[in-house]
């Protein structure tokens, strides 16, 4: 005989349980963990290279690199002197909690102030998977079009900060900073927006101050 069984269980609960464990670990070691999400080519790795180089000696930082394949990004990050752990998802379009847990085996959290997670380049799937991070940071480059927050609302709704990269190219592209900011803030009024150029360094000072403040808050 058929019976109806009420369930009401969150479909991503297995990942959420691992994420809770990760969050506890990061809290115990007082490590600030931002999860960087963007489309491919927006400049996540370049932003990290600049940040790791410019704040070297001031903050202790490491990176978990997520890519579909190759360890090119981990090698670029390692060239700055920071520790990098590469996760190859073998076709997977996002990182999940168990991948992070595995990567932590190669890292000593007690030696870190910031652990950057560079997610797989993709504006959609990575947003759904909680990695126990402190916050999601969305990266958008001005060559992608100012309607991206509108087309991919999930990221910009839950993100704590949006880094607008490649602003040195603004004179050559039709990108309305005001429109992109407005779109992103419609559902997320507290969103921090940083306009930067990782190529010439413009605007990075504000991003670094934000990171310093986040580290201080985590340690407090």
Partner 1 sequence: MHEAAIAQSLIEIIQQEMAKAKATRLLSATVVHGRLTNLVPEALSFAFEAMTMDTPLAGATLHLRQVPLVVRCFGCGEEFTPEDDNLLLMPCPKCGEEFGHTVVTGKELYLETIEAE
Q: Residues 7, 69, 90, 171: which binds partner 1 (CB under 8 A)?
A: 7
Is residue 70 a contact partner of residue 88, using CB atoms and an 8 Å limit?
Answer: yes
Query: What residue ranges in 80-205 does DSSP mark as E strands?
Result: 83-88, 114-118, 135-141, 161-165, 192-195
- 91 contributes a contact to partner 1 by CB under 8 A: no
CA 71-161-75 angle, to 5 degrees, is: 15
Least gap, CB of 135 to partner 1 (angstroms): 17
**x/- contact string, 173-202, with partner 1 (CB under 8 A)?**
---------xx-xxx-x-------------
Q: What 8-state DSSP symbol labels residue 157?
A: H
- 68 contributes a contact to partner 1 by CB under 8 A: no
- 8 contributes a contact to partner 1 by CB under 8 A: yes
**Cα–Cα distance list, 90 to 66, 70, 72, 83, 130 (Å):** 10, 9, 14, 22, 20
138 Cα distance to chain centroid: 6
Residue 48: CB atoms within 10 A of its CB come to: 23
Q: Residues 54, 71, 88, 150: which binds partner 1 (CB under 8 A)?
A: 150
Q: Residues 66, 138, 149, 159: which binds partner 1 (CB under 8 A)?
A: 149
- 101 contributes a contact to partner 1 by CB under 8 A: no
State which residue, 51 or 96, has the beta carbon closest to partner 1. 96
**Of 112-131, which residues contact partner 1 (CB under 8 A)?**
124-125, 128-129
- 153 contributes a contact to partner 1 by CB under 8 A: yes
- 209 contributes a contact to partner 1 by CB under 8 A: no
Taken in order 31, 67, 84, 191, is the CA torsion positive or negative?
A: negative
Is residue 77 a contact partner of residue 65, using CB atoms and an 8 Å limit?
Answer: yes
Residues of the shown chain interacting with partner 1 in the complex, contacts defined by CB under 8 A:
1-15, 93-94, 96, 124-125, 128-129, 147, 149-150, 153-154, 157, 182-183, 185-187, 189
């Amino acid at each position: 005989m058929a019976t109806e069984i009420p369930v009401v269980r969150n479909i991503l609960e297995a990942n959420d349980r691992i994420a809770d464990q990760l969050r506890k670990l990061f809290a115990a070691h007082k490590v600030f963990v931002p999860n960087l999400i963007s489309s491919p080519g927006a400049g996540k790795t370049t932003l990290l290279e600049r940040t790791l180089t410019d704040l070297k000696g001031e903050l202790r930082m490491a990176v978990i690199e997520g890519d579909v394949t190759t360890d090119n990004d981990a090698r670029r990050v390692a060239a700055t002197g920071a520790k990098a752990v590469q996760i190859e998802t073998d076709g997977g379009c996002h990182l999940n909690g168990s991948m992070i847990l595995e990567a932590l085996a190669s890292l000593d959290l007690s030696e870190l102030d910031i652990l950057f997670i560079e997610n797989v380049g993709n504006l959609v799937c990575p947003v759904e998977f909680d990695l126990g991070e402190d916050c999601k940071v969305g990266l958008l480059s001005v060559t992608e079009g100012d309607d991206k927050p509108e087309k991919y609302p999930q990221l910009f709704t839950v993100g704590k900060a949006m880094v607008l990269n490649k602003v040195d190219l603004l004179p050559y592209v039709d990108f309305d900073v005001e429109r992109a900011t407005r779109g992103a803030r419609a559902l997320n009024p507290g969103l921090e927006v940083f306009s930067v150029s990782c190529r010439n360094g413009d605007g990075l000072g504000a991003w670094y101050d934000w990171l310093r403040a986040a580290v201080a808050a985590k340690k407090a």
